[in-house]
Chains A and B, each alone.
Chain A
Amino acid sequence: MQNNDELKLVLLIASIAMLMMAFFVIMFVMYYQKKKFEEEKKINDIEKNYNRLLLDTALNSEETERRRIAQDLHDDIGTMLSLTKLSLNQLSKLIVTSGDDKEDAIMKKSQSLVEETILHVRRITRDLVPTTLERFGLMEAIEEFIHKLEEDNNLVISFQSSTEEFPRQGQKLELTLYRIMQELVNNAIKHANCNKIDISLEIDEEIIGLRVTDNGVGFDPDKIKESNLAGLGLLGIESRLAIVNGTVQYEQPTQGGSSAIARIPVNPASGNKPEPLHPFRRERVNI
């Protein structure tokens, strides 16, 4: 009889052991899945950071390239054009003294062409490198940009800012905002068929908001993204924002047109700039 009780006890222990093992297995699965999940997240993060780095490098090299082109235009072609203008001036003096009307007219034409070319080259270099942005900051740069646009187009562009004195931001952030503003305004001019564009810049302790609104035909960003209509512009805005942790949101106001808001966390300029952005600084390459 005692043996029987022992046997029962053993069976009880065995049952408990089995239940404990079952519990262990369940715990094991849970622990495993949790660990796996964490690791996947880690890998994801690494991948994301890596992508961001790639993008950053690409955009940086784009800016560097623009700078180089602008510099070449300014230094080489600009100088040559100035010399040409000088020579033409000397030549025109000779022609004036000889007193031939026809020659004089051709001379005048050439001179004005050269002058126009000089202006064009200057404009192109300034478009390539936003010097005002680097020297005076975002507000100045946007105002200058608007001013130039209003001259050439039949447009009303308004610009308001939440503060009188917009604090300087990190160089990359300012450039990002400027390029986004450029693209949004260019889009409005190109696609929206509008006659009024509003740009507003807001800043609080954490976020800078840039809003561009037009009164044109409007568009549905989701549809455009689906139907590979999205050009480089909208995609470029998103990749630029991804680098600085920003977001963009498109709205369709009830009164028509379209509105885009980009939000970026503030990142005030540090006192010592790592790389002073002088537009025409250049490392001389000796060939």
Chain B
Amino acid sequence: MLETYFSYFKRQPLASIPVFLTLLPIFLIWRSKAYHERTFLILLIYLVFKFVLDFTMFEWASNQRNTVLFYNLSVPVRYVLTSCMYYYKLEYKQQKTWLIISMPVFVGFSVWDIVQTNPSLLDLHNHSMVLYSTTVESLLMLFWILLYFYNTIRALRIPNLLNYPFFWICSGLLLYYSSLLFIAPVLHYASKWEEWMDIGILYNVPYVFESVSIILFSIGISQYSDSSYAK
């Protein structure tokens, strides 16, 4: 079994790196006990979820099976978890309310999207990627992140942004979603199992983006100390 992993790793090194890189922030959160803070707890759940999912996809992919179903299912979960962090970080009641409302609406939308793009749900082999959900998710998340940045600069309450863990997490998410926003519309067409398009090394670019954001998460978590939240 390990051999199949290795051969996949060798064939797709850049695609495999983020899967294992996810373990780094998980480890850091665990070690610094950052999970006592709610946002980090959610981040931890998200990262563990992502790792399990990625790993399953990795495992299926190394066995030459179509993993798109997992991806499709992960989109609403990812949105709920990441936006949940902002629920705790946004300060104004009104903004919180809108964020809460956006969650079920988006989940409903993405389920609709999955059903829409895959008329025969049980045909896993020909499962294709959701058409709109990722774009909408990116837009929503970019909006919440920028809103948070805007609030931050209005309040000026953080003494030094570079020591502030959540700022790094925001930056990671911002970079990730800003690239995903443009890639998402094409993914639907690019990753059909049967007609796999050959774009060579460029196919790995999204994985590089993902790795960058995970590294930014890790930097943020390593800035965490109990005192920085003991306000």
Give every chain B residue within 8 A of A29 (Cβ-Cβ).
Answer: 161-162, 167
Closest to A21 in B: B178
Interface pairs A-B: 7 shortest CB-CB: A14-B182, A18-B179, A21-B178, A14-B179, A10-B186, A11-B205, A17-B178
Contact with A along B174-207 (1 / 0, CB 8 A): 1100111111011001100000011100100110
Please determine whether A8 and B202 come into contact, CB atoms closer than 8 angstroms: yes
CA distance in complex: A145, B185 (Å): 91
B119 CB-CB contact with A under 8 Å: no
A20 to B177, CA, bound (A): 12
- For A13, the chain B residues whose CB sits under 8 A away are 182
Confirm or deny: A22 has a beta carbon within 8 angstroms of a beta carbon on chain B: yes
Among the listed A15, A33, A35, which residue makes an inter-chain contact with B205, where contact means beta carbons less than 8 Å apart? A15
Instruction: Report yes or no: B198 in contact with A4, Cβ–Cβ below 8 A.
Output: yes
Interface residues of A, CB < 8 Å — how many?
25
Residue of B nearest to A25 (CB): B171
Judge if A6 is at the interface, Cβ distance under 8 Å. Answer: yes
The one of A7, A25, A28 in contact with B199, judged by C-beta atoms closer than 8 angstroms, is: A7
Residues from chain A with a CB closer than 8 A to the CB of B186 are 6-7, 10
Knowing A10-B183, A14-B183, say if A21 contacts B205 (CB, 8 Å).
Answer: no
Q: Which of A4, A17, A22, A28 contacts B182 (CB 8 A)?
A: A17
A36 pairs with B189, CB closer than 8 A: no
**Chain A residues within an 8 Å CB radius of B182:** 10, 13-14, 17
Contacts of A159 in B (CB 8 A): none
A36 to B159, CA, bound (A): 7
Which A1-60 residues sit within 8 Å CB-CB of chain B? 3-4, 6-8, 10-11, 13-15, 17-18, 20-22, 24-25, 28-29, 31-33, 35-36, 39
Interface residues of A (CB under 8 A from B): 3-4, 6-8, 10-11, 13-15, 17-18, 20-22, 24-25, 28-29, 31-33, 35-36, 39
| Chain B positions near chain A (C-beta within 8 angstroms) | 149, 152-153, 156, 158-162, 167, 171, 174-175, 178-183, 185-186, 189-190, 197-199, 202, 205-206, 209, 212
Q: How far is the CB of B181 from chain A (nearest CB, A)?
A: 7
Query: What are 11 A-B pairs at a CB distance below 8 A?
Result: A6-B186, A7-B197, A10-B182, A10-B186, A11-B183, A14-B205, A15-B179, A18-B212, A21-B179, A25-B171, A32-B153
Apart from A8-B202, A11-B206, what are 20 other A-B pairs with CB-CB below 8 Å?
A4-B198, A7-B190, A7-B202, A8-B199, A10-B185, A11-B199, A11-B202, A14-B180, A14-B183, A14-B206, A18-B175, A18-B178, A18-B212, A20-B178, A24-B174, A25-B174, A25-B175, A32-B153, A33-B161, A35-B153
**In the complex, are the beta carbons of B179 and A17 less than 8 A apart?**
yes
Residues on A with beta carbons closer than 8 Å to the beta carbon of B209? 14, 18
